[in-house]
Structure 1
Amino acid sequence: MKTQIFIAALFLSGFTFAQEKKSDTLNTKKIEEVVIKKQVFKKQSDRFVYDVAASPITKGNTTFDLLKQTPLLSSTDDKTLKIAGKNNALIYINGRKTNMDAESLTQLLKNTPAENIQKIEVITVPGSEFQVESSDGIINIVMKKKMSDGLNGNMRMANSQNKYNASSASFSANYRKDKLGISANLNGGENIQAQQYTLRNGNATSSNESVGKIDDPNQSIGGYMNIDYQLTDKSNLALTWNTSANKSYNSTVNLFNTIKTGNDTDYTWSKNKEDARSYNNSVNLNYELKTDSLGSKLNVNAAYLNYKRFQFTDNKTLDSNINRQELGITQQVFQELPQIINNFSGTVDYIKKFKNDFTVSVGGNYNKTKTDNDTKNDTFRKNPTPPLKAEEHNPNHFIYDENIYGFYITAEKKFSDKFSGKIGTRYEITNSLGTSDNAPDESLKRIERKYNNFLPYLSVNYALNDNNNISYAFSSRMRRPSFWEINPVRNILTEDNYTQNNPFVKASSTYNQELTYMFKSSYFLILSHSYFKDQITQVPLQGYPVSPNGVVGKQNQLRYIRTNFGDKQEMSAMVGMQKTFFKQYLTTNFNIGAQHNINNGTLAIDPTTGDSFQDIDGKPVVYSNKRSSTSIVIQTNNTLRLDKKKTWFLGVNYFFVDKQQIELGVLRNLMSLDLSLKKNWNDWTFALNVNDVLNTNIIEIEDYQANGNYNYIHQNRYNRGGTFSITYNFGNQKVKKVRNIEGASDDIKSRTR
């Protein structure tokens, strides 16, 4: 609660300051709003542009809420944003990638009021100048421009009730005086992330069912500071610092296990406790030089990133009976799972613009990353009577060094008012080395990778007339594994059910194509195709493990293993619209589409241990996913103005994702109905949001193999709940925003989590 109390104090002090400023402006007349008809949603070259400055959904909302209501964007877990037909969405601000890790960025977006946003750009197929991976798309948030000196800011406090109560608060300020600009943000919150699980796996002769809950308490605090100084009329120097910290102590797992083998049934409890804390700090120095009056400029960045996570787990297995009575510990595993990441990065970009609407961009980047993972694992087993006896002590110090060199060139030409095109390529060199001082296998002690990749890009845009526009884009990308994916640690859920990271995971390649048609800047059709080669994913292997020396395990196991799992194709077709009706009383965006997935992968051996699997009869077990599926996706966001003065608004939002084949099996349909009520009063906004009203946003995955194995996951994340928030804007609202700078280490941050 200390974080919230501190920010509340800032909230009250800001209110006092604003009241003093307001007394100086009581005689100022308010100018009535002039409604100008303009294109709110349109297609420009390589991106969709959603102008939200005058939209009724902006005021009182958070930036995250606003993004969820943007055409082509969605979130099914209220944590991550997804662009239709894309795996992941990267957040940029004013054309610069945000300099934060994924968790801190989500908290910032949820604690930042949306009033300062001018427009949102959705780039579904990024060009060669962007450092993105796989089929990632880009969401570029363009802030409103403020022109005069002074101070302004905003404060927000919110309280949510799902299964547990949660609170959050934020304070932001912007100051500009002559050539100096400073912006800062402080945000914090506390919550308990709750989940209810039912896990089943096995076959006709043996099975395991685990039922119970996971509670993960979190306390977080974070913020940023940007300092921007105009050296001359043509050059600027900027320093950006981002920081975040999260504490998750006494996170618990309580699962009751029913284990059947033939006619025998055993009962156990899995009771796990975890203490974890993480810290993320980064600093970026930026120099920008404008080289001519046409907009040509040089951009140079140097950055340092330090990420630390310390995690301790105590995993207990207890004997039980059908009445769920605890009968004593049979196994206890202690794990220390620290991770330290250090990254030094640099980027150089030069954009040259010519008078004949021709632009050439060239640049390069360098990233040097070192991750240090000093893992300790101690296993105690009942052997055969108490006290527990230490049977395994498996420390593993895994160090990963990676160097990435990247170079790109793009050329963009506007041939006429109707036709424009862009072509480019990236060349990336990746050299990495993973070493382990106590690996269980000799092949794990030194893992060296080298990649050299040409990544071409092409896009064309043609305006048939004022009402019709068509465009096409192609890009190729690679996806390097995240640092946690290659850290060879085991995350235990139950005694025979765990996830396993894999240092042998190699980079995958992705090829994307997209055809877009836009009509009257309100209606759109998007056809897309993505091909993933050696895709990186998590695959379930289950059965009786057989070690490379032929020793067969005594218990059926389920391992979720991170690995390269064959190839995959995704094809989608989507139609949608964004319009206002009834004299702007109703604002709506709606899209409906179909997605076709083709999976083609098999896995027979655990790549981290060399173990194969067999069933109870000794027959080999292979996990296969050579299946396809076609699913429907629907999303609609509606804002209804309830009064003439534009002070009351009702929001009705809904999404539906049909069942589809994914790597783990068939993901059953997801849907959510969300309602909101908002009241604007002077500089205050009061909002009430109710999410997942029908309690239908629950994950269910099931898979049946030809060999008789099955796997079922039911996960309730308690999405149904309500949030009440208060937002207050203070100060001179004409303060010019500090430049947002793309950090040189930005492309590394997304791989820390």
Structure 2
Amino acid sequence: MKTPLLIAAIFFSGLALAQEKKSDSVKTKNIEGVTLTKQVFKKQSDRFVYDVAASPVAKGNTTFDILKQTPLLSSTDDKTLKIAGKNNALIYINGRKTNMDAESLVQFLKNTPAENIQKIEVITVPGSEYQVESSDGIINIVLKKKMSDGLNGNMRMSNTQNKYNASSASFSVNYRKDKLGISANLNGGENIEPQSYILRNGTDKLKNESVGDIDDPNKNLGGYLNIDYQLTEKSNLALSWNSWANKSNNSTIDLFNTLTQPNKKGITETTHTWTKNRADGRNYNNSVNLNYEIKLDSLGSKFNANAAYLIYKRFQFAKNNTMLPDKMGGYSTPGQTITQETPQIINNFSGTIDYIQKFKNDFTLSLGGNFNKTKTNNDTKNFTYQFIDENGNEIKNPPGKPDFNHFIYDENIYGAYLTLEKKFSDKFSGKVGARYEITKSLGTADNPTNTIESQKYQRIERDYNNFLPYLSFNYAINDKNNISYSFSSRMRRPSFWELNPVRNYITEFNYTQNNPFVKASSTYNQELTYMYKNSYFLILNHSYFKDQITQVPLQGFIKSADGKIGTQNVLRYIRTNFGDKQEMSAMVGIQKSFFKQYLTLNFNAGVQHNINNGSLAEDPTSGDTFVDKDGKPLVYTNTVKSTSIVITSNNTIRLDKKKTWFLGVNYFFVDKQQIELGMLKNLMSLDLSIKKNWNDWTFALNVNDVLRTNIVEIEDYQPNGNYNYIRNDQYRRGMTLSITYNFGNQKVKKIRDIEGASDAIKSRTR
């Protein structure tokens, strides 16, 4: 059971001051007969470049470790990577998107030696040639090329202890012989994802509180197989397959509920119930991608084509029980039971083509297109059993009230792009481009219970076109100063689970509601960057979100479309388009090594200003409105502005001359800021690590959230008197011990990592 977190995304940015020593560490390297001055960190055209091969922290690290040391990147949970000011970081390898789901990708990054990496490119505002959503950024990992044939691999085992114990293991192998390259990975593990909640909502006269725990056991097994064959000196054919399976049985929600409100006589009464939920679920994700690439000339011109098929299956059965007090002082009397079957099956076929033509006058023309055809099948079945009537009398063997909904969603996306890039001189370069996307979708519902909701979304058609321009330029003022600017417009389409019109119950009167009427939102990003001596940088960013997709809390007494008003205060967290939002940030930072590379400092801090502008008066899935006890309409609004400080610091300290012992000290702080659900209180985390390299072995100990301060708290007060409070503790503090062994020829050339045609769709299954 993947329980929604009821929190919106946190966008990181920052402001900092640091001082530099006069002596800059500079390395020179001869590439194809041209002597270049190599800087560890620099700005190039539309991206930041971190030269891992010239960095002192690469040896003995995994790719995931080195990504956490890369400027502008951070990880707060050791699972996901964030780019400052961005929702997500999409991983590319050698310019192609990785064709893996999130869990497999993390295992891949944690089991790939950093010694194989030449450089890491961070693209904060991607160009038109990239298929990305909203304000997503890109991390492009460029692997070393001059490697010999042979076999190599590694094995990794780890054990983590927080509230519960978790273990994982993986095995990776790479083989290269003449024209054939093969890479494979198998990984798995067991863990229990714990959470504790405090949920409060109500008014000055009515108070509802739920306190308790959520435990989600998981067993995971996944892997991938990539085969690359060189057809001729100029052409390659590649086949990629990856798979991931998850089993989550006996997931539980255990919450004690306290309701305080006036009775019919106006006397304040307090009642208690106990919510005991249980769910069994399993997920399967399989995809295959066929790639063909041909080089057209010695300048780097090429043609690339992909065809992919993806199938995702999710099955879950949940039982929500509301238990009432019994005569013995316990809670054994059933009040209500809701059973849910919520399957989801996603089938997708995708294709992409890319043509890149390079000219001798430093001019590049890129054009291409993509096609995605997706069908989701959601056959949901709900039964509600009421064991107590309105007068408090027990109902024996109550009939289940059915609520069936078979929702099918068909979506076709056609896209084309054109990009022109020109290097006018050694100092000035520019890039201009655009994407044009056509989206056609149809959602249909077949519901035998014939409720008002099902009638409303029996047929939902979408047909819209989007023109998405892009512009960037880069100007090197001199050897020490560089300035660049980027503008990009993007769409953010709803994930498929957001469109599936089901409710996920937390308690009897507190649940999340998905919404088939959610439409795509638009994002406009601008970024101005100044860099000094390839070590210090200033980034100014502005993002405008139109019709943003988020989760909004509506609460009160339900007034249905027929005018009837319910007798119980209800809180619904509804996925919907919720007005517009602006984010402005200013960040300065430093990436530099000190004391003969014994200390590598990656520090940035800044200020972020959020402007929210949204309101919601009714549940868009049913037409229900929310009123107080006197029938006065209740509207949820968020027009609050907030300014907050953000600090991130990732530092590596080398403890010996032989570069075998390393100490890591990582810290982040996010000041309180207004998000869609209310005021998010400040967050911070201190993470420590110690690592030992011994021949082909690496031993590492990581302690995350040492001070146990990474706990989410959100509080909201509405002008109409409603309030809402959420405290969510995911037990971030924990200790992980890992052992990695590298075997074979460590110079084996990696096979081409192929961008899958279905990658843009895959991200929407999660």
TM-score (norm 1): 0.94
Aligned counterpart for 2:601 among listed residues 554, 575, 588: 588
**Inter-CA distance 550–593: structure 2 relative to 1 (3 Å threshold):** same
SS at match of 1:645: coil
Q: In the alignment, does 2:318 pair up with 1:283?
A: no
Alignment of 1:51 onto 2:51? yes
**Do residues 683 (structure 1) and 696 (structure 2) align?**
yes
**Counterpart residue type for residue 183 of structure 1:** S
TM-superposed deviation, 1:93: 1.5
Is the CA contact 1:267–1:322 (under 8 Å) kept in the aligned structure 2?
Answer: no
- In the other structure, the counterpart of 1:434 is 443
2:581 is matched with which residue?
Answer: 568
Distance 1:470-1:369 versus aligned 2 partners, 3 A rule: same
How far the C-alpha of 1:76 sits from its partner, in A, is: 3.2
CA deviations on 1:416-463 (whole Å, 9 max, x unpaired) are 000000000000000000000016332210000011010000000000
Q: Is the 8 A contact 2:559 2:565 kept in 1?
A: yes
Conservation of the 8 A alpha-carbon contact between 1:60 and 1:687: no
How far 1:380 moved relative to its partner?
A: 0.5
The match for 2:637 is 624
Write the distance in 2 (CA, Å) between the matches of 1:143 and 1:260: 61
Q: Which residue of 2 aligns with 1:740?
A: 753
- Which structure 1 segments of 5+ residues have no match? 1-33
Contact 1:543–1:558 at 8 Å: present in 2 too?
yes
Decide which of 609, 618, 621 is 1:608's aligned counterpart.
621
1:310 corresponding residue in structure 2? 315
Match of 1:705 among 715, 718, 729: 718
2:375 matched residue in structure 1: 370
**Which of 555, 561, 564 is the equivalent residue of 1:542?**
555
Taking structure 1 as reference, are residues 125 and 322 closer, same or farther at Cα in structure 2, changes over 3 Å only? farther
1:158-197 equivalent positions in 2, closer than 5 A: 158-197=158-197
Equivalences for residues 65-80 of structure 1 within 5 A: 65-80=65-80
Q: For 1:293, what is the secondary structure of its paired residue? A: coil
Shift of 1:78: 3.7
Does residue 478 of structure 1 match 2:456?
Answer: no
8 Å contact from structure 1 (residues 656, 672) kept in 2: yes
Q: Is the 8 A contact 1:155 1:171 kept in 2?
A: yes
- 2:761 counterpart SS class: helix
* Separation (CA, whole Å) in 2 of partners of 1:436 and 1:687: 52
Secondary structure at 2:53 match in 1: coil
Structure 1 partner of 2:9: none
- Contact in 2 for aligned 1:374/1:398 (Cα 8 Å): yes
Match of 1:234 in 2: 234
Q: Could you tell me whether the CA contact under 8 Å between 1:268 and 1:321 is conserved in 2?
A: no
Structure 2 SS opposite 1:749: helix
Decide whether aligned partners of structure 1 residues 389 and 571 sit closer, same or farther in structure 2, where only a CA change above 3 A counts: same
The match for 1:389 among 398, 405, 412 is: 398
CA distance in 2, matches of 1:324, 1:138: 57
Corresponding residue for residue 279 of structure 2: 274
More deviation, 572-581/638-647: 638-647
Aligned partner of 1:26 in structure 2 is none
**Which residue identity lines up with residue 440 of structure 1 in the other structure?**
T
Q: Within 5 A, what are the aligned runs for 1:96-111?
A: 96-111=96-111
Where 2:497 maps in the other structure, the secondary structure is coil
Which whole-Å deviations, capped at 9, do the CAs of 1:540-599 have from their partners, x for residues lacking one? 000001001011111101000000000000000000010000001111100011110000
> CA contact under 8 A between 1:256 and 1:324: conserved in structure 2?
no
CA distance in 1, matches of 2:397, 2:634: 33
The aligned residue for residue 206 of structure 2 is: 206
Instruction: Identify the match of residue 727 of structure 1 among 713, 726, 740.
Output: 740
Amino acid at match of 2:494: P
C-alpha distance in 1, partners of 2:495/2:656?
Answer: 49
C-alpha contact (below 8 Å) 2:159/2:168 kept by paired residues: yes
Check whether the contact 1:187–1:221 (CA below 8 A) recurs between aligned residues.
Answer: yes
1:700 and 1:318 mapped to 2: Cα distance? 28
Q: CA deviation at 1:646?
A: 1.0
CA distance in 2, matches of 1:56, 1:558: 53
Code of the aligned partner of 1:732: N
State how far apart, in whole Å, the 1-side matches of 2:395 and 2:146 are: 71
Count how many residue pairs are aligned between Structure 1 and Structure 2: 720
Q: Which runs of 5+ in 2 are unaligned?
A: 1-26, 30-36, 263-267
CA distance in 1, matches of 2:66, 2:628: 51
Per-residue Cα deviation, 1:725-748 (whole angstroms, up to 9, x for no partner): 111111011111000000111110
| In structure 2, distance between residues paired with 1:120 and 1:266 | 58
Match of 2:338 among 333, 346, 357: 333
Check whether the contact 1:198–1:212 (CA below 8 A) recurs between aligned residues. Answer: yes
- Does the 8 Å contact 2:194/2:213 carry over to 1? yes
Name the residue aligned to 1:352.
357
Match of residue 25 from structure 1: none
Point out the more displaced range, 176-185 or 71-80.
Answer: 71-80
Aligned-residue CA RMSD in angstroms?
1.6
CA distance in 2, matches of 1:111, 1:316: 43
Report % sequence identity.
77
1:644-673 C-alpha deviation (Å, 9 max, x unpaired):
111111111100011100000011111000
Hey, what does 1:408 align to over in structure 2? 417
1:56, 1:639 within 8 Å by CA — same for their partners in 2?
no
Residues 101-133 of structure 1: per-residue CA shift (max 9 Å, x gap): 334433443454544333221100000000011
SS of equivalent to 1:326: coil
> How far apart, in 2, do the equivalents of 1:593 and 1:89 lie?
20
1:330 deviates by 0.6
Q: Is the 8 A contact 1:266 1:321 kept in 2?
A: no
Inter-partner Cα distance in structure 1 for 2:217 and 2:316: 14
- In the TM superposition, residue 616 of structure 1 has moved relative to its aligned partner by 1.8
Could you tell me how far apart the structure 2 residues matched to 1:527 and 1:435 are? 44
CA distance in 1, matches of 2:541, 2:444: 40
CA distance in 2, matches of 1:322, 1:89: 55
Letter in 2 for 1:74: S
Q: Aligned AA for 1:395? A: F
1:323 and 1:154 map into 2 onto residues whose CA distance is 59
Q: Match of 2:100, as an amino acid?
A: M
Deviation, structure 1 residue 145? 2.8
In 1, the alpha carbon distance for the partners of 2:137 and 2:328 equals 51
Distance of 1:268 and 1:597 partners within structure 2: 39
TM-score, normalised to structure 2, is: 0.92
Conserved? CA contact 2:174–2:182, under 8 Å: yes
CA distance in 1 between partners of 2:59 and 2:382 (Å): 51
CA drift at 1:100? 2.2
Q: Distance in 2 between matches of 1:100 and 1:646?
A: 33
